[in-house]
Amino acid sequence: MQSRNSYQSSSRRGSSDERSSYAPRQPYAGQRRDRYSPQGSGYGGGRPSPRGGARAKQFIHPSRFIQAATVTEKAEYVPVHSFADFDVHRKILDNIALKGFEKPSAIQDQTIPLVLQGKDVVGIANTGTGKTAAFAIPMIHDLITHMDHRAIIIAPTRELAQQIMDECFSFGKGCGLRSALLIGGSSMGLQRRDLRYNPRVVIGTPGRIKDHIQQGTLPLSLFNFVVLDEVDRMLDMGFINDITGILSRVSPQRQSLFFSATMEPRIANLIKQFSNEPTTVSTKEGSTVDSVSQDVVYYSGGNDKLDKLHDVLIAGDCGKTIIFDETKRSVERLGRELSARGFKVDEIHGDKSQAQRSRALQRLKSDEINILVATDVAARGIDVSDITHVINFSTPNSYDDYVHRIGRTGRAGKTGIALTFLPR
């Protein structure tokens, strides 16, 4: 039986109050990356100029935006384990079956046994390869079998935290585990109430977790299972101090898991500082971009840019599409423009309330709309199946950002299309 304050009720409570209590205090991608203010009223030539203190935009040679998708005739991964081989609680196995997962993905196959042994694990794998379940399945087993254990999962964006919460809920259904979702844009009061119920799982973004630490509402020393998801992204977003602050307060007798799509020296440093003889599993094969067919679209002045976009969107192969643009204002403006042209579109950026952001994603998932215009806030972690196109209406700030943006398509064995708009 599930308790009233288990995953589902907890996350619902969170979202019901978001509208009235939106307080965008915490930095996240949309806000940090919106460094340019649009100039000029048209979509043609007007080049944005950096605001004070902005990081310079990296020059990316146009040739890097062009690449045919590699037809993946790679031998399919044959897992060593079946889910039933994992020594996890019966309920979890039932829930896995209910989700329709037949066999573990490579990262799941190789990390779940290590996590079940209590080891610290660093998991490096391409996007869309099932990293969430790789930590959620053994974590839930650990919580069911150790009543004194509590887990905290830290993720870079609100959407991703919510998505992880949903995934944990689906694996932990019927296990009576209470949870709390600590994200910006939601009521602190309701989150404090959720925390008073002593949740066994806390999922949150660094900024809001820090707020709770400062208010004394999150007794981190009682948490002995830590997951950092999308570590590379969190560091990109400047969360390093928040993360070290959080990790240094969690119980020293703990198990720590780190998941990332890339491994770089600064990530290695963080892991070294906060883990205990970790085992690193990397299932990275080629790069994410291999499954995405990439090309550029050249535009000239006037309304040509918008017209070219229009042409792409009405071409027959365009299904679900995410269009990335640079600033909150330009995203709003483009969304309005496309809407006026009759496209079914919504927008996500850092000035939208969390309820609006969740709703926009939900509308895309349920086919109510097929175009989402977004700032980089949506570039990472978001898993919407069947996105056919990623369109960079403005060029990304770095090649890394580019890879994250186009990683929204070509997921889970499919191929996708990425188009980057460049001035002629």
- Taking the CB of residue 100, how many other CB atoms lie within 10 A of it? 6
- Residue 149 φ/ψ region, left for φ over 0, alpha for ψ in the -120 to 50 degree band, beta for the rest: beta
Shortest distance in whole angstroms from residue 408 CB to ligand ADP: 10
What's the sign of the alpha-carbon dihedral 203, 204, 206, 212? negative
The residue written with tokens 């990790």 in the block is 247
Q: Which tokens sit at 72? A: 């993946």
Please name the amino acid found at residue 111: T
- 412 contact, one of Mg ion, ligand ADP, none, CB 5-8 Å limit per kind: ligand ADP
- Contacts with ligand ADP: how many residues (CB under 6 A)? 14
Q: Is 232 in the site for ligand ADP (CB under 6 A)?
A: no
Of 13, 33, 89, 131, which one interacts with Mg ion (CB under 5 A)?
Answer: 131
- 227 contact, one of ligand ADP, Mg ion, none, CB 5-8 Å limit per kind: none
Give which of 64, 82, 29 is closest to 422, Cα–Cα.
64
For residue 340, with 0-12 CB atoms within 10 Å meaning exposed, 13-18 middle and 19 or more buried, which class applies?
A: exposed
Give which of 197, 207, 196, 201 is closest to 223, Cα–Cα.
201
Give which of 211, 213, 210, 229 is closest to 221, Cα–Cα.
213
Shortest distance in whole angstroms from residue 138 CB to ligand ADP: 14
* Cβ nearer to Mg ion, comparing 192 with 284: 284
* Cβ nearer to Mg ion, comparing 131 with 349: 131
Measured from each CB, the residue nearest to ligand ADP is: 130
Of 29, 115, 124, 133, which one interacts with ligand ADP (CB under 6 A)?
Answer: 133
Shortest distance in whole angstroms from residue 189 CB to ligand ADP: 30
* Cβ nearer to Mg ion, comparing 131 with 212: 131
Q: Spell out, one character per residue from 286 to 325, where the chain touches ligand ADP: x when CB under 6 A holds, - when not.
A: ----------------------------------------
- 128 contact, one of Mg ion, ligand ADP, none, CB 5-8 Å limit per kind: ligand ADP
Of 33, 35, 89, 131, which one interacts with ligand ADP (CB under 6 A)?
Answer: 131
What are the phi and psi torsion angles at 287 (to 5°)? Answer: -130, 160
Shortest distance in whole angstroms from residue 103 CB to ligand ADP: 6
User: In 3-state terms, what secondary structure has residue 390?
Assistant: strand
Strand spans (E) along 214-370: 225-228, 255-260, 279-282, 292-299, 320-324, 345-348
User: Restricting to residues 69-128, which ones interact with ligand ADP according to CB under 6 A?
Assistant: 101, 104-105, 108, 125, 127-128
Q: Is 129 in the site for ligand ADP (CB under 6 A)?
A: yes
Q: Is 358 in the site for ligand ADP (CB under 6 A)?
A: no
Q: Which residues of 58-89 are buried (b: 16+ CB within 10 A; e: fewer)?
A: eebeeeebeeebeeeeeeebebeeebeebebb
Q: Is 141 in the site for Mg ion (CB under 5 A)?
A: no
- 104 contact, one of Mg ion, ligand ADP, none, CB 5-8 Å limit per kind: ligand ADP
Separation CA 153–CA 227 (nearest Å) = 5
Q: Is 412 in the site for ligand ADP (CB under 6 A)?
A: yes
- 199 contact, one of ligand ADP, Mg ion, none, CB 5-8 Å limit per kind: none
Shortest distance in whole angstroms from residue 412 CB to ligand ADP: 5
Separation CA 12–CA 169 (nearest Å) = 12
Separation CA 334–CA 321 (nearest Å) = 14
Q: Spell out, one character per residue from 371 to 400, where the chain touches ligand ADP: x when CB under 6 A holds, - when not.
A: ------------x-----------------
Footprint of Mg ion (CB under 5 A): 131
Footprint of ligand ADP (CB under 6 A): 101, 104-105, 108, 125, 127-133, 383, 412
